[in-house]
Structure 1
Amino acid sequence: MPANTALRDYLLTRRSVGTAFLKEPGPTAAELEQLLTIATRVPDHGKIAPWRLVVIEGQARMEAGAKLAEIYARNNPGTDEASIEIERQRFLPAPLTVVVISAPKDHPKVPEIEQLMSAGNVAFNLIHAAYALGFGASWVTRWYAFNDEAAAMLGAALGERIVGFIHIGTPTATIEDRPRPPLADVVTYWGK
């Protein structure tokens, strides 16, 4: 296989675009189908697709945010209105959010950790797909990924867990790169 320098350069410079900098337009229906197709081309030992995707777009962004704010207010009595409003806005301003859910299946040869990692790959591949189509993206995981009531409201079934929320839209800013760890701090060679 020949070297793909454009892909290499992309991987060396990829960075997330925060949700505050993701605006309309979002992907068209055809682009979304392509994004989801690319996202699901991941390692999947046993070909069991141990993940699911829930798309939140259009008016559903406000509706999901309103339900999220209700759950937050119920679980945090006495919280101020400003904090509740933050929860209402969780799926804004990005025009599209994809909830990536780990949906493990019983399998004699595929442990749950492998299935969870496959779901994580779906999330990261979705980010790569967004950039390939000219969008920006951000992978976030907040309290509502780990709250059973909120996770269920967002589409996770019993025994499933949310891996992350991938916000996608048109970037309105160029994001500065963050410092990356020196390889010497994170890489060792076995036997040396």
Structure 2
Amino acid sequence: MSSVTDFLLNRASEPRLEAPAPDAATLDRAFACASRAPDHALLRPWRYLVIEGDGLKALGELLAAGYSDMRGKTDEKKLEIIRNKAQRSPMIIVGIASPKKHHKVPEVEQILSAGAGMGFLGLALQDAGYGVMWRSGELSHYPMVHKGLGLVEGESVTGFLYTGTVSSTKPAVPRPALAEFVARWPA
């Protein structure tokens, strides 16, 4: 198998990240890789926001406000936990699915393309020596969070890609046996 296959077989999410984050040239190359995601009709149904520095604090505040808006809860301890989510790495890249109306390409294909782009982006950053952790969760679906991030109607968050330098590695995650998720059809 090729070095790409070996790389994929050793890929892992890294939750412990610190500075430095990827530099501009590394980001440009990683976004160029993301743009190679399968994209029926070349609609480019994705975009990205790079958040770092003071923007991380602002993102934490936005996430906490979105939580309060949706849940009606103002438990300060819970809100502080949510605010701190944005401080887990020196950079967060927000992936946004931005489907276009098209007579041949359904919205679901475009959202899958945006997801593939996030995956390619993460792989490119890892290949450049950085750690990544792709997170989503309920906060990524809150209307106030969408509005605060500048999403327009029809757009959605494909995830928050935390990135930076790995501060400590975690144990390998056991992978399922292929027979658990692969079958031949017809049987």
Per the normalisation by structure 2, the TM-score is 0.93
Instruction: Give the AA of the match of 2:104.
Output: K
Q: Does 1:161 align with 2:156?
A: yes
Please give the alpha-carbon distance, in whole angstroms, between the structure 2 residues aligned to 1:90 and 1:173. Answer: 18
Structure 1 spans left out of the alignment, 5+ residues: none
Tell me the matched-pair count: 187
Contact 2:69 2:144 in 1 (8 A): no
- Pick the aligned partner of 2:5 from 5, 8, 27: 8
Post-superposition offset of 1:78: 4.6
Contact 1:144 1:151 in 2 (8 A): no
Q: What do residues 52-103 of structure 1 show as CA deviations (whole Å, max 9, x unaligned)?
A: 1111111111112122222323444453211111121222131111111111
Instruction: Give the AA of the match of 1:156.
Output: L
Aligned partner of 1:188 in structure 2 is 183
Which residues of 2 match residues 53-132 of structure 1 at below 5 A? 53-132=48-127
Please give the alpha-carbon distance, in whole angstroms, between the structure 1 residues aligned to 2:179 and 2:143. Answer: 40
Contact 2:60 2:86 in 1 (8 A): yes
Instruction: Give the AA of the match of 1:136.
Output: G
Per the normalisation by structure 1, the TM-score is 0.91
3-state SS in 1 of match to 2:169: coil
Contact 1:25 1:170 in 2 (8 A): yes
Aligned partner of 1:44 in structure 2 is 39
3-state SS in 1 of match to 2:184: coil
Structure 2 spans left out of the alignment, 5+ residues: none
Instruction: Give the AA of the match of 2:162.
Output: H
3-state SS in 1 of match to 2:168: coil
Q: Does 1:142 align with 2:123?
A: no
Q: Does 1:26 align with 2:4?
A: no
* CA RMSD in angstroms, aligned pairs only: 1.5
Please give the alpha-carbon distance, in whole angstroms, between the structure 2 residues aligned to 1:174 and 1:186. Answer: 27
Percent identity over the alignment is 37
Instruction: Give the AA of the match of 1:53.
Output: Y
* Change over 3 Å in CA distance of 1:50–1:78 after alignment to 2: closer
